[in-house]
Chains A and B, each alone.
Chain A
């Protein structure tokens, strides 16, 4: 007769082995797909900003064929081979949680081609408007000021770098403006230092 402690320990060891074996198998089966899916949101946003047709089945290939990824220490640029449009990720704190977005600029590094919010946790209906396509469409064509960047305001004066603030989302607008400008300055610095256009 086995000692009860030995029985318990050997039972747990056997259970542990079976369970880990099962999980390793699951991981092998799904790992590639999960990696692919995690890249999807970012790559899809960049492809959409550059007007490419793609599906969830072929986005990785389309991205690979058309977009150059330039990695630097501080920031990763995604450059469209045809138009030269430059995309990069902007992120920062909103009112309730982090906001992540992708901004795409024309090769002059000033005109906004598209703005897409990847994730946010703002108040639905107020600050949450920041992620809505209708609102983000207002950013298209805005020309950033090299010094002050973008100006998100409730009282537009008609300047090129102005965008309407979110009604009822003053604080989200302010955070969004801050993170765009912060990130824009960094990106501009890095981009100019490495001599503008790629290679």
Chain B
């Protein structure tokens, strides 16, 4: 019933095509729905932050496709069917004025180390997009943590005609630092938050869109509702308690409206491949992620906490599965799989 040992299969690192695929690997239709809904958020970001975000997305897709193609070629397979989702998530999780090469590094690292070397979609331990974002988050903290900006004050950004790599924007004076914002969320009204007129990453500010599209994906059964509910619920409860006993914490609702928590809860955390299989496992996973995000964001030095929290939960997902006696291996001949389902 244990998870498959990926090292034991195949005769070489490049030919590892016999490793079992995760039982919950989404169908191609679901992948397209997932990507499509995120695409709507990207279009909203174009309206909010300006067309520069399209260049970020373009860079991500080009880099991702090159790596996917190279691996498919060397393994003699078709392009991975989930090629479209990782660059989209990465784009939406980066700051809207990030230099394009950083977006390229994030995607390159995420697709290569997070996905391709594990054998492609359905065989990954960590969500590849999170791996990519984590890598640039650690590598380039000053770019990642201080390049949010206020769309309210500036209106949409235009890419500069002279330098396509970076928009016409004064990073020194206008950029907003995320650590400061996460503690003291400024003078935003609820309307600002709902319409995305707040500082934040590309796809993480437009709350109306995130919530409706997220619920839409659950109604279409692309994701399970338990992970987002457990994650966001845990954060609300924790901030509520801390507001009663301590000071310096934002209100429970605000804590969800700034930063990546809501976006990640709806679109990244419930990724079927990297979250537990059984229903109660999903609840445990969501609660764990909520606690970790809260702790890392408010009690530790790392900024948002969402990427770190989810990566840690990804790592212990097999453990949660084993608590609930679920096996994630889908081997075509195995009867165990049917039992586990």
List residues of A whose CB falls within 8 A of some B CB.
95-96, 122-127, 154, 167-168, 170-172
Contacts and interface: CB of A to CB of B under 8 A. Distances in A.
Contacts of A96: 301
Among all A-B residue pairs, the 7 with the closest Cβ atoms: A125-B141, A168-B145, A95-B301, A126-B141, A167-B146, A170-B179, A171-B301
Contacts of B183: 170
Contacts of A123: 141, 301-302
Contact of B180 (A125, A127, A170): A170
Given A95-B301, A96-B301, A126 B180 contact: no
Contacts of A154: 177, 180
A29 to B, nearest CB: 43
Given A95-B301, A96-B301, A171-B301, A125 B179 contact: no
30 contacts: A96-B301, A123-B141, A123-B301, A123-B302, A124-B141, A125-B140, A125-B141, A126-B141, A126-B142, A126-B145, A126-B301, A127-B301, A154-B177, A154-B180, A167-B145, A167-B146, A167-B177, A168-B141, A168-B142, A168-B145, A168-B146, A168-B177, A168-B178, A168-B179, A168-B303, A170-B179, A170-B180, A170-B183, A171-B301, A172-B301
Interface of B: 140-142, 145-146, 177-180, 183, 301-303
A124 B142 CA distance: 10
A167 B147 CA distance: 11
Contacts of A168: 141-142, 145-146, 177-179, 303
Nearest to A125: B141
A96 B303 CA distance: 14
A23 B145 CA distance: 51
A17 B177 CA distance: 62
B15 to A, nearest CB: 38
Contacts of A127: 301
Given A96-B301, A125-B142, A167-B177, 9 more contacts: A95-B301, A122-B301, A124-B141, A125-B141, A154-B180, A167-B142, A168-B145, A170-B179, A171-B301
Nearest to A128: B141
Contacts of A95: 301
Nearest to A170: B179
Contacts of B146: 167-168
B238 to A, nearest CB: 19
B105 to A, nearest CB: 15
A96 to B, nearest CB: 7
A146 to B, nearest CB: 28
B215 to A, nearest CB: 34
Contacts of B177: 154, 167-168
Nearest to A94: B301
A167 B175 CA distance: 11
B169 to A, nearest CB: 16
A170 B177 CA distance: 10
A37 B13 CA distance: 49
A124 B177 CA distance: 17
Contacts of B142: 125-126, 167-168
A141 B301 CA distance: 29
A123 B301 CA distance: 8
Nearest to B143: A125
A125 B179 CA distance: 14
A122 B141 CA distance: 13
Contacts of A122: 301
A7 to B, nearest CB: 47
B154 to A, nearest CB: 19
A71 to B, nearest CB: 36
A170 B302 CA distance: 11
Nearest to B180: A154
Contacts of B141: 123-126, 168
A155 B295 CA distance: 26
A37 B302 CA distance: 35
A124 B138 CA distance: 9
Contacts of A171: 301
A6 B183 CA distance: 71
A171 B300 CA distance: 9
A123 B144 CA distance: 14
A11 B230 CA distance: 66
A111 B183 CA distance: 32
A127 B302 CA distance: 10
Nearest to A127: B301
A124 B301 CA distance: 12
Nearest to B178: A168
B94 to A, nearest CB: 16
Q: Which of A123, A125, A168 has the most CB of B within 10 A?
A: A168
A7 B146 CA distance: 69
